[in-house]
Structure 1
Amino acid sequence: MAELSLPDLDPISDRAVFRQIADHLRDAIERGKLHQGDKVPSETQLMQHYGVARMTIRNALQVLQSEGLTVAEHGRGVFVRSHPPVRRLASDRFARRHREQGKAAFIAETEGAGGKPSVDSIKITEENASPDVAERLKLTTEDCVIVRSRRYLINGRPVEIATSYIPAEIARGTQIAQPDSGPGGIYRRLEEMGFQLDHYMEEIRSRMPLRDEARALKLAPGVPVFHLIRTAYTTEGRAVEVCDTVMSSDAYVLSYELPAR
């Protein structure tokens, strides 16, 4: 334990020993004694320092993993989880200038944060609108929508999965229904077709991920997600897209500029 100084256990504390150890390691992470990507002392080192059984150490490490602070790598050890946040600026990310420069919102915000954006797992289908999507797009459940699902990555790490729903009468047979929607993304294609975008409405809540979401985003145990639903409106007030997005909460900082008048 020469590299990292940890306190001793408090013999008169009523807090369980494994939780005391987890507290010490958490404090080292929060105080910057252990940085992102650093290796946590091994089970053997911690056993020797605290004089406890291996299972006690494993229980302490499991607490940190469940909190999303560490990640275990098979054969290598336990490491402080990296959190490369992208600051998501709600007042800027959908600015028309980005589309005119040929950049969709995700590309613009990721490159602005110094990251390398990529997209995979793209799937395009046409199906009947669900009741919720139909209500948001002012359609009926008999109407069809083009469904675009994809996964977004930053520097090769999955951070977001998104599914867009666009009325089929608008998108059928256009580049929006192709895997590559072209420079500027689907919003640029919509405006080229005469659907001038005016504003977006977003609803955001935090929750624990579903099993498939955790797998797709490669989330550590205990890491919640942001669940965001966005509706895009034209200058005439027509809703032309609904986007259902699940974001890894430790990859984003949500930043909003709100007028005071």
Structure 2
Amino acid sequence: MTALPSGLLGVLDATSDRAVFRQIADQLREAIGKGHFAEGAKLPSESELVGHYGVSRMTVRNALSVLQGEGLVHSEHGKGVFVRPRPPVRRLASDRFARHHRDQGKSAFTVEAEAAGSHSQVDNLQVREERPSADVSARLGSPLRVLVRHRRYLLDGRPVEFATSYLPLDIAKGTPIAAPNPGPGGIYARLEELGHRLERFEEEVRARMPTPPEAKTLRLAPGVPVIRLVRTAYDTKGRAVEVCDTVMAADAYVLAYELPAQ
């Protein structure tokens, strides 16, 4: 067997009924989890793994394919297999929509990007009017038409989420909310200027695998799931003034919550 650094990888269990390639994947996954292979680090080559475990090259490739399918590693042709960088954005639910951020002219995404030390960017912006789906209509109190704002968010040039906001047309039409750039603080600042002071938000969060268009939009590696978050914003009169449907790359975010104990 080829000697890898001491303790880096173990040996195969000949008595286990778990397939050999899965045992190898388990050991590599554990080594990544323990930090033996840092973000961006190159894994041992196929030849090194073949020599270390005494298995066929196809067995090693199957093991690496498992990790690629989980989104843990990516392959660069002619260079090797590397641990995928995972620069998480800490999305603090209890603070991201705080009014003091809007008063400073900052959107929630800008606040998150600054906290992560990253450069934020928005592209693929579309603004249009349309008839809402049954779900959006029910959340907004059954309007016949809504203003739709669709955009994609990038951190340091990497797409991390895209979002679609739906607002009742009687609130948004003919206002800065209908403009491509609604101004400092985003649409929530404009809603409050229009007399819809925000009181609370409701969020529903689910994790799933992406659709092909979502994977393309977010440039996701195979095996990387997405987080779908649907948020409804309410003003102080109890009216739902916006529904925002967001799809996020799951490997780019840490969802952090502060919950009162009483």
Do they fold alike, i.e. is TM over 0.5?
Answer: yes
1:17-36 equivalences under 5 Å are 17-36=20-39
Percent identity of the aligned residues?
63
SS state of the match for residue 229, structure 1? strand
Q: Equivalent residue for 1:214?
A: 215
Q: Contact 2:4–2:52 (CA<8 Å) still a contact in 1? A: no
1:11-160 equivalences under 5 Å are 11-140=14-143, 143-160=144-161
Shift of 1:214: 1.4
Distance 1:233 1:83 in 2: 34
Distance 1:3 1:158 in 2: 36
Distance 1:151 1:52 in 2: 45
1:184 partnered with 2:172: no
Distance 1:158 1:82 in 2: 14
Normalising by structure 1, report the TM-score: 0.94
Tell which deviates more after alignment, 65-74 or 189-198: 65-74
Shift of 1:50: 2.2
SS state of the match for residue 164, structure 1? strand
Matched pairs, number:
259
Shift of 1:189: 1.1
Distance 1:102 1:64 in 2: 42
Tell which deviates more after alignment, 175-184 or 229-238: 175-184
SS state of the match for residue 150, structure 1? strand
Shift of 1:35: 0.6
Q: Which runs of 5+ in 1 are unaligned?
A: none
Deviation digits for residues 68-122 of structure 1, max 9, x if unmatched?
A: 2112223332111111111111110000111111100111122122222111111
Q: Given residue 67 of structure 2, which amino acid in structure 1 is its aligned partner?
A: L
Distance 2:174 2:5 in 1: 62
Distance 1:156 1:260 in 2: 39
Normalising by structure 2, report the TM-score: 0.93
Shift of 1:3: 5.2
Deviation digits for residues 139-194 of structure 1, max 9, x if unmatched?
A: 24xx1111111111112111111000011222122221222121111111111112
Shift of 1:2: 4.4
Tell which deviates more after alignment, 5-14 or 150-159: 5-14
Distance 1:31 1:97 in 2: 39
RMSD (Å), alpha carbons: 1.6
Shift of 1:228: 0.7
